[in-house]
Every structure is written in structure tokens, then in C-alpha cells.
């Protein structure tokens, strides 16, 4: 069965770590180094025979792109890749951040500045940082760090009350410290919200015209679960209080309400469809 590049890389690191204390550590490290050098030399010769457009098309494959990055053969420079990564996550930041300005790379550290903020949203800092850092690390693994100016730490920790997934679903293992969690298979798109537990966090997934949106499963107006709410043309109505929210615009309140849902960054890549969830805090 084919592995994605991230999974394979993590497994290689695990195996090497297991050999660190053994008598064959040096042999194992040299073997890996020689294999990487050999395949890298072969890939370099292949890329040399292709034009830029052809290499760009190859880089569209997640596994090939990871190899190009590993051997410093990617056709885009680090700045272009960072910009492209930010373009991917901007639609999911929504009201968490009015925009993200890329300031460049200095001493291997990507520097960015947030423009705007999400007033009153306790998870703003975590979701924005996770979305930005996760996307950039995928696109530019050679960076040694990421600094995001304009992020304000929340005054109080999040209080999490988890809800169980629908019958028959198998949620991923809990992510106690938060992070990117892969969504389980939701099946064919449906015209109603779907609830799932991701690492102890109750998440509501909505599909609008083939696009997925993820939110905390809690009404911003009354705090009730939204699973039984109606979803019509992107407008989600709370089944308890009737408040309506636009799931395509970061959960902004409709009909004049100032409340908004708490969006969770969602990305689709070689690891599947993943949602950035904060660490679960016991209630």
C-alpha cells in the first residue's frame, strides 16, 4: 500500500531513532545517507533534462514535491512557496485574521504579520498560528522557524466539552496537545451538518457546493450543539435559538447578530483532509 511522503519520513525517523542505542547505529546512518545521495543524484539528472513547466507539473504531485524539496530541486524559491502556502490557508482564516502579510525570510526564519484580528474569539491565536505554521512547514521544510507578528495570546484557556461521534464512526486518536487531525471518512456530501469528535474536540463539518468548512459544534449565541441545525445556501440555523450564521464567511452572524461561530482551519493534502484543533481542556 502506498504511503504519503509525510508518513514515510516519520517512519524512517522512528526506525533511525530505534537504532541510535544499538551497535549498528553508524552503519544504519551511513546506509540511509548513501541511499539518499544516490536517489538524489538520479533525480537531479532527471530534472536537468526537463524544462521548468514540466518540473512544475511534476511538483504538483505531493510525493514528487517532497523529493524535490528534500534535494533542493523545487522550481519555486522559498518565498514563492511560502506565498502559495498562505494563499491556501487564507480562505480558512476568515474572521480570525483580516490578512497575512509575508515579510520575507531572514536567517532561515519566515517572518509574517497578521493584519486584523478576531475580537472576542478565545481560540483565535491557536487556530491562526496552527493554520499558518502548518501550511508553511509543508511548503518550505528547510526553514528553521516561523515568526508571526500581531498574534495576541488569549486571556483565558479554552474550556472544552467533547461530544461523541455519530454511531458507527471511528474518530482519530485524541490529540491532547492539539494539532492537525485527519477527518474520518464522512461519505458522500450531504446537505446537513455532520458532527465528529477530533481529539476530544466537538467539530461540526458543513459542505457547501463541494467545499468543506469546519467549526466548533457550538452555537455562538446560545452555546447549544448545531448538529440538528438546517444548512441552506451556506446559512446554518441553530436548532435551539434560531440564530443564523454564514459558514462560507468564517461563521459570521446573519440578520444583524454580532455573534460568529469559531472556525477551525481545514486543509486537504497528501495526509488527507485535516482540521487544526486546539488541545482538549477537561471540563
**pLDDT confidence of residue 182:** 81
Residue 114 has which C-alpha cell?
497578521
Q: Identify the domain boundary among 110, 131, 149.
A: 149
* Residue 237 within a domain: yes
Closest Cα to residue 122, out of 272, 260, 230, 21?
260
User: Whole-angstrom Cα distance, residue 219 to residue 180?
Assistant: 23
User: Whole-angstrom Cα distance, residue 125 to residue 139?
Assistant: 21
User: Whole-angstrom Cα distance, residue 93 to residue 263?
Assistant: 8
> CATH no. for residue 255?
2.102.10.10
Global pTM value: 0.49
Residue 245 has which C-alpha cell?
450564521
Closest Cα to residue 77, out of 142, 6, 171?
142
* Residue 160 within a domain: no
> CATH no. for residue 106?
3.30.300.130
Closest Cα to residue 59, out of 81, 40, 42, 39?
81
Are 277 and 264 spatial neighbours (Cβ–Cβ below 8 Å)? yes
User: Whole-angstrom Cα distance, residue 18 to residue 13?
Assistant: 9
Residues 109 and 191 in one domain: no
Residues 186 and 272 in one domain: yes
CB-based burial label for 139 (10 Å; 0-12, 13-18, 19+): buried
More confident residue, 68 or 170: 68
* Residue 168 within a domain: no
* Residue 156 within a domain: no
Residues 136 and 190 in one domain: no
Cell numbers 455562538 label which residue? 220
Are 111 and 104 spatial neighbours (Cβ–Cβ below 8 Å)? yes
Cell numbers 441552506 label which residue? 232
Read off the pLDDT band of 266 (50, 70, 90). confident
Residues 268 and 183 in one domain: yes
User: Whole-angstrom Cα distance, residue 219 to residue 190?
Assistant: 20
> pLDDT for 125-134, tens place per residue?
556 676 777 7
Read off the pLDDT band of 237 (50, 70, 90). very high
Residues 101 and 57 in one domain: no
Q: For the chain, what is the mean pLDDT?
A: 74
* Residue 120 within a domain: yes
For the cut 50, the answer to whether the pLDDT of residue 62 exceeds it is yes
Residues 189 and 261 in one domain: yes
* Residue 23 within a domain: yes
User: Whole-angstrom Cα distance, residue 53 to residue 111?
Assistant: 29
* Residue 32 within a domain: yes
Residues 60 and 12 in one domain: yes
Cell numbers 448545531 label which residue? 226
Q: Identify the domain boundary among 43, 67, 91.
A: 67
User: Whole-angstrom Cα distance, residue 270 to residue 62?
Assistant: 6
- Residue 142: domain span: 78-149
Q: Identify the domain boundary among 67, 100, 117.
A: 67
* Residue 195 within a domain: yes
Amino acid at each position: 500500500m502506498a504511503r504519503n511522503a509525510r508518513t514515510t519520513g516519520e517512519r524512517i525517523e522512528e526506525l533511525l531513532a530505534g537504532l541510535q542505542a544499538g551497535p549498528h547505529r553508524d552503519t544504519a546512518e551511513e546506509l540511509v545517507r548513501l541511499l539518499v545521495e544516490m536517489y538524489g543524484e538520479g533525480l537531479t539528472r532527471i530534472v536537468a533534462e526537463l524544462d521548468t513547466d514540466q518540473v512544475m507539473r511534476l511538483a504538483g504531485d505531493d510525493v514528487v514535491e517532497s523529493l524535490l524539496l528534500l534535494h533542493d530541486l523545487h522550481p519555486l524559491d522559498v518565498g514563492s512557496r511560502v506565498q502559495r502556502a498562505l494563499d491556501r490557508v487564507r480562505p480558512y482564516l476568515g474572521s480570525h485574521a483580516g490578512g497575512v502579510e509575508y515579510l520575507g525570510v531572514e536567517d532561515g526564519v519566515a517572518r509574517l504579520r497578521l493584519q486584523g484580528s478576531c475580537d472576542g474569539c478565545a481560540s483565535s491565536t491557536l487556530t491562526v498560528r496552527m493554520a499558518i505554521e502548518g501550511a508553511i512547514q509543508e511548503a518550505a521544510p528547510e526553514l528553521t522557524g516561523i515568526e508571526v507578528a500581531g498574534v495576541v495570546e488569549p486571556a483565558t484557556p479554552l474550556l472544552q466539552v467533547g461530544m461523541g461521534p455519530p454511531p458507527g464512526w471511528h474518530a482519530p486518536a485524541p490529540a491532547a496537545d492539539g494539532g492537525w487531525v485527519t477527518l474520518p471518512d464522512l461519505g458522500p456530501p450531504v446537505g446537513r451538518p455532520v458532527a465528529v469528535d477530533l481529539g476530544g474536540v466537538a467539530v461540526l463539518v458543513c459542505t457547501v457546493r463541494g467545499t468543506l468548512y469546519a467549526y466548533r459544534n457550538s452555537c455562538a449565541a446560545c452555546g447549544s450543539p448545531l448538529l440538528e441545525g438546517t444548512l441552506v445556501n451556506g446559512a446554518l440555523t441553530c436548532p435551539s435559538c434560531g440564530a443564523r450564521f454564514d459558514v462560507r464567511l468564517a461563521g459570521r452572524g446573519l440578520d444583524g447578530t454580532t455573534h460568529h461561530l469559531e472556525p477551525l482551519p481545514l486543509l486537504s493534502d497528501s495526509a488527507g483532509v485535516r482540521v487544526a484543533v486546539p488541545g482538549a481542556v477537561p471540563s
